[in-house]
Structure 1
Amino acid sequence: MRSPFLRYFAFQDPIDCIFYALSLTQQPFFIQVGANDGINGDPIYPFILKWNWSGVKVEPVRYIFQELEKNFKDFSNIILENSAIAHTNNSQKFYYLKQDSAAPEWYSQLGSFSLPTILKHAQWIPDLEERLMTSDVPCLTFEELCDKHHIHHIDVIHIDTEGYDFEIIKLIDFEKFRSAIVLYEHKHLNVSDQHLCRQHLESFGYQFISTSRDTLAVLESPQLHKAWNIVIGTR
């Protein structure tokens, strides 16, 4: 029988490789902030299907959350939260684009507390300002999210919030939640925040590898050691 570790070499994407390694020894629990519809471009979705990952998907935009509900109505292991994660639990202004079923799949992913990040996409959406919507969305702190859903252990934290990722990472108590993996989008962070974000996570023992848009932060552990060495050896 061939060792499952040999299959690490089959993964071209380092995120898939590390997620697979984690799945070999446990059924991971995740928190995903900025879930969108939970399927398109979602790195966790295949692992929910094949490896029965469980977790919480957080999505603040109402019409997108309705799609998320449709997509996961039969998944009893997935909790859906129609809120945003922020510094306080007050409602806050959130920017997104109005619903358009004919738009490409990435269109609905353009939602953020950061208006400049949304406006940067005007070169691909000439009438972006006409499509721009704002609404006050309910917010929770990360701690409140965990308390609400009785979460005491997290294996994977995935953040995709169009330029707000570092702000959310700063809200997480990494002494309390020693998440094996933190995946976040660095693409919309300025150079200074990219550096500070890494520095912050590094202080809790994380090591890193980046793709063109995302950064994968991983804690050293026996179950991820072989996969991590393969990933960093092929970059």
Structure 2
Amino acid sequence: MLTITPRDPGRPLIQATFRKREWLIIGKGGGIVKRYDFIEIGTSDFDTIIQRPVAVGLRGLSVDPVHEYLERLPDLPNVKKVCGGISKVGGKSHVHYIDPEVFSANPSLPKWLKGCNCIGGPHVHALSEIQKLGLGEETFLKVEVRLLTFCDLVEEYEVGSVDCIKIDAEGMDLEIVESWLAACEEFPDRPGLFAEIVIMESNSFDRHRCPRFLELKSRLSNQGYGCHFITGNDVMFRKGRFI
């Protein structure tokens, strides 16, 4: 059993029971593909699935655009670290994140700021916190990063099935869910790409009024997913044998 605890303290636990199954499966087209227990997009370097003891027995992908964050995570035999950002269009962009030396020099900075790396420009909330210290955009490092579509991820890592997708992508959550659905449509011979549980953040939009989110909710409902507002920020789409 994998217990996924959202980052903010006090949030309720999400418990997902992973079935014991073979890691290599035969797709409908006859090809051999892999079953993954989880794909986590936006790991930062703290409070991630890969850091939990139970992850030792799981197969997964840990995805983050900041290479040094991935380097700080443990190396597990069946979990691959993927450096890049997930989007609807592949290519290259830049990730902006606070220089780690700033945290060393300012230990009072909240830890969650480490998770505020952002594609395309500095994270608004991170910039606001930094400005309180009299610092500005020069505090952020800017690094070129590869952008992958979910289809790219499926092809490169031979994903045939995944139990849990967890997304914490600082405002890009909707785009990543759209990219995932596009991959499900692109590979109709891999129905297991329709993960049994999908967790995303909704702090960048009004989940009761945002047309883009409501459309996604409708599309997922048509695929048999129920929508659960589990905290002030987290949304879980669930189907199958999860409790």
Shorter chain as denominator, the TM-score bin is 0.7 to 0.9
Q: Report SS of the residue matched to 2:77.
A: coil
Instruction: Measure, in 1, the Cα distance between the counterparts of 2:214 and 2:234.
Output: 14
- When normalised by structure 2's length, the TM-score is 0.72
- Correspondence 1:136 to 2:144: yes
- Is residue 89 of structure 2 the alignment partner of residue 88 of structure 1? yes
Corresponding residue number in structure 1 for 2:100: 99
* Structure 1 pair 165–114 and aligned structure 2 pair: CA distance change class (3 A): farther
Offset, 1:49:
4.1
The runs of at least 4 consecutive aligned structure 1 residues that moved more than 6 Å come to none
Secondary structure of the corresponding residue to residue 91 of structure 1: strand
Partner of 2:64: 59
Query: Partners of 1:215 and 1:151 in 2: how far apart?
Result: 24
**AA partner of residue 14 (structure 2):** D
Task: Give the percent of matched residue pairs that are identical in Structure 1 and Structure 2.
Answer: 21
Counterpart residue number, 1:181: 197
**1:104 to partner: Cα distance:** 3.6
Whether the 8 Å CA contact 1:182–1:217 is kept in 2: the answer is yes
Tell me, yes or no, if structure 1 residue 170 matches structure 2 residue 178.
yes
- Hey, what's the Cα distance between the residues in 2 that align with 1:34 and 1:109? 8
TM-score, normalisation: structure 1 = 0.74
Q: Name the Cα RMSD after superposition.
A: 2.6
The Cα shift of 1:204 comes to 2.0
Cα 1:78/1:44, change in 2 over 3 Å = closer
Deviation at 1:111, TM superposition (A): 1.0
Deviation (angstroms), 1:15: 4.3
Deviates more, 1:91-100 or 1:191-200: 191-200
Question: CA shift at 1:213, angstroms?
Answer: 1.6
Aligned equivalent of 1:124: 129
The residue that corresponds to 2:228 in the other structure is 209
Read off the aligned partner of 1:16 and give its amino acid letter: I
Provide the rounded CA distance (Å) in 2 between the counterparts of 1:214 and 1:15.
11
Change (3 A) 1:156 1:205: same
CA contact (8 A) 1:156 1:182 kept: yes
Specify the code of the residue in structure 1 equivalent to 2:96. Y
- Greater per-residue strand proportion: 2
Compared CA separation, residues 128 and 77, structure 1 to 2 (3 A) = farther
Gaps of 5+ in 2: 2-9, 22-35, 186-190
Q: Conserved in 1, the CA contact under 8 Å of 2:44 and 2:115?
A: yes
Equivalent-residue separation in structure 2 for 1:142 and 1:58 (angstroms): 11
Specify the alignment match of 1:200 in structure 2: 219
Secondary structure at the aligned position of 2:219 is classed as helix
Q: What does residue range 8-47 of structure 1 map to in structure 2 within 5 Å? A: 15-17=13-15, 19=16, 22-23=17-18, 25-26=19-20, 29-37=37-45, 40-42=46-48, 45-46=51-52
Query: How many residue pairs align between the two structures?
Result: 201
SS at match of 1:161: coil
